[in-house]
Amino acid sequence: MNILDYITIILFSIGVLITGVSFSKTGKDMKSFFSGGGNVPWGMSGLSLFMGFFSAGTFVVWGSIAYSYGMVSIIIQLTMAVAGYAVGTWIAPRWHRTHSLTAAEYITGRLGVKTQKTYTYIFLAVSVFTTGSFLYPVAKIVEVTTGIPLTTAIFALGAFSMVYVALGGLRGVVVTDVLQFVILFAAVVIAVPLAFDKIGGVGTFFEKVPEGFFELFEGEYTPGFVIAFAIYNMFFLGGNWAYVQRYTSVKTERDSRKTGWLFGVLYTISPILWMLIPMIYRVYNPSLSGLENEGAYLLMCKEAMPDGLLGLMLGGMIFATASSLNATLNISAGVVTNDIFKRMRPDASEKTLMNVARISTWGFGIMAIIVALLIRSMGGIVNVVISVAALTGVPVYLPVIWSLFSKRQTARTILSATFISLAINLIFKFVTPHFGLALDRTWEMIVGTAVPVILLAGIEVVLKAKEFIAPEYMAYISGRNVRMRQENAGDTEESKRTDRFTQKVLGIGLGLSGVLITVLGFIAEENIVVPVAVGLVVTLIGIYLLILSLRRLL
């Protein structure tokens, strides 16, 4: 990397920070801070959901699998598209129908305060390690490509994320997610043809890839694993509290469906674009082995991208991954403020609640930094966290999702399903291997997914046979009808001004980003057509949004 790449990253970072901070005045109450006022456009919410689902795994883990096995990595990621379509069709509208600010608020109304507290503590405990595991690989990418010490990178990236989440709230997170999506997508569109050019074209790629590179399944990534992983992704995407915000923050139930469907469409297209780069690098340099495979994505970008545009790609990778951290920070702060502090101090003013929200964001950010700093000394903590997340994801999220559809499940049955599933899964993970019974990756995923499904289905059948209706459900329906939001929520002049401001900020951000990409394209000594064309398209999108925002003022 040279000085032009560093300048690009700095300019991009300043732009993202300004974009998030510019929404500090819009997040002035609980609803606007944690749900974007309840009227976030479904397109923005869907893009934010897509970006929030990203982690370093897209570029490191899946990139490594793409380099080693080829088509398998694309098949695995297409399960996320299936999950998006399923969530958009069935789960997202159910969340929107609850009229709750957060998932924790719904659990309180449907299953009671004690159940809500139990799930809250589980979620917050997992979130601390999740945010740390998101932060560490981003900082690692910065260290590898720039030489900046890992500790410095962790502090800098952690502080950066905390600032614009604490100030901008959900609207700031969503808008910066959209900006990051466009930048990253533009960078990948530029990188793919340049990577093909490095190996002599598309024909050379198909001629020189290893035998079996386009097989749909390979090694431990069997059909059973892929099916179980698709089911896991559906429940994780549909039940993770950070993602639930994207379904509840849009205006209508139909918009919540579109949010999930847009995620599905994007994950139908993006795996092919994302994974082509490490697959091409397999042809360019087939000598990587072991953990070296994890660097395939970035190594190909370093070879193919001109000066300045490499900084653009790196910036896109960093902030796409950091987006997951930002979403978790926002929802964790929301849980602490809305579902813990507000219950302790029900008469607290909006100003006090907002201060608690921002302090909570800083608090979770600091804990994430601490976890990230400890990862090296704790050995394989990242692998452990990912594995435990896969085992705990369905037991934690599915029972709550099930309660969205069932009028028979009680707090006791829901919690029982969670704790029994967690116990069984964790025993298979940490206890039985000492006695010679260790599950491979496929069976670990199948057991982790199947056990809670079987438990909940069995409970549902028994309760239905008894014609039992949960008293908690009847009380929840009564309470929901009383507090339902007005149909015209979000149509106030204040929300219209926020929408105009959102379009204006996005228009300016995309316009300036497009100009930067175009300039970098002209600076490149060769292959200037693709980056210049992409830069001009991004510039025109920014200009269109800016004109649209100005027209609404007239």
In the chain, what percentage of residues exceed pLDDT 90? 34
Long-range pairs, 158-163, Cβ under 8 A, ≥24:
158/365, 158/366, 158/368, 158/369, 158/372, 159/365, 160/13, 160/17, 160/322, 161/135, 161/322, 161/325, 161/326, 161/329, 161/365, 162/329, 162/361, 162/362, 162/365, 162/366, 163/17, 163/20, 163/21
Q: Is the dihedral of CA 228, 234, 235, 237 positive or negative?
A: positive
Q: Token pair for residue 375?
A: 């990862």
Q: Which residue has the higher pLDDT, 262 or 493?
A: 262
Q: Token pair for residue 117?
A: 């507290």
Query: Which pLDDT belongs to residue 156?
Result: 85
Beta bridge partners of 489: none
Kindly list the distances between the CA atom of residue 363 and the CA atoms of 88, 163, 366, in Å, as whole numbers in the listed order.
Answer: 33, 12, 5
Q: Which residue has the higher pLDDT, 483 or 258?
A: 258
Q: How many residues does the chain have?
A: 554
- End-to-end distance of the chain based on CA atoms, in angstroms? 46
Of these ranges, 10-19, 225-234, 475-484, the one predicted with the greatest mean pLDDT is: 225-234
Amino acid letter, 104: A
pLDDT digits (tens, 9 = 90+) for 80-94: 999 999 999 999 999
Alpha helices in 335-410, H assignment, sequence order = 342-344, 350-374, 381-405
Note the maximum CA span of the chain.
Answer: 75
Query: Which pLDDT belongs to residue 442?
Result: 82
How far apart are the C-alpha atoms of 213 and 206, rounded to whole Å?
10
Domain 3-10+41-341 belongs in CATH node 1.20.1730.10:
yes
3-state SS, one letter per residue, for 205-232? HHHHCCCCCCCCCECCECHHHHHHHHHH
Query: Which pLDDT belongs to residue 553?
Result: 55
pLDDT band, very low/low/confident/very high, at 321 (cuts 50, 70, 90): low
pLDDT digits (tens, 9 = 90+) for 383-442: 555 566 677 889 999 999 999 999 999 999 999 999 999 999 889 888 998 888 988 878
Q: Which residue has the higher pLDDT, 275 or 382?
A: 275
pLDDT digits (tens, 9 = 90+) for 17-72: 677 666 555 544 444 444 444 567 888 888 878 877 776 557 777 888 899 999 99
Question: Domain limits of the chain?
Answer: 3-10+41-341, 491-553
Residue among 536, 552, 537, 539 nearest 502 (CA)? 552
Please say if the pLDDT value at position 167 is more than 70.
no
Please say if the pLDDT value at position 240 is more than 70.
yes
Q: Other C-beta atoms within 10 Å of 151: how many? A: 14
pTM of the model: 0.83
pLDDT digits (tens, 9 = 90+) for 138-158: 777 777 777 788 889 888 888
3-state SS, one letter per residue, for 283-341? HHCCCCCHHHHHHHHHHHHHHHCCCCHHHHHHHHHHHHHHHHHHHHHHHHHHHHHHHHH
